[in-house]
Amino acid sequence: MKTLFVPNLQSEGRRARGAVALIFGAAAFVVIPFSRRLGLLLSLAAIFTAFEAVRGWCVLRACGIRTQV
């Protein structure tokens, strides 16, 4: 289990995850009056993405999925 949460993001990836977390959080704030379920889902996505940014860890990379740039 220790090797699962080993940091695998550089600073650019961490900043990108932080920006996505802010976008998810803002979207959740806007959507909650219309759909509580969607707002909750976006809030959970924001929290998880913020965790990834703070930890420097990406769940997709930890599973072996990489993108070509």
Q: What pLDDT is attached to residue 5?
A: 76
Q: What pLDDT is attached to residue 50?
A: 96
Phi-psi region of 64 (alpha: psi -120 to 50; beta: other; left: phi over 0): left
Q: What pLDDT is attached to residue 36?
A: 96
User: Which residue positions in the chain have pLDDT lower than 70?
Assistant: 1-3, 68-69
Q: What pLDDT is attached to residue 43?
A: 97
Q: What pLDDT is attached to residue 21?
A: 97
Q: What pLDDT is attached to residue 15?
A: 94
Q: Token pair for residue 58?
A: 């990406």
pTM above 0.95, yes or no: no
d(CA 18, CA 31): 20
Given CA atoms 36, 13, 50, 19 in this order, what sign does their dihedral have? negative
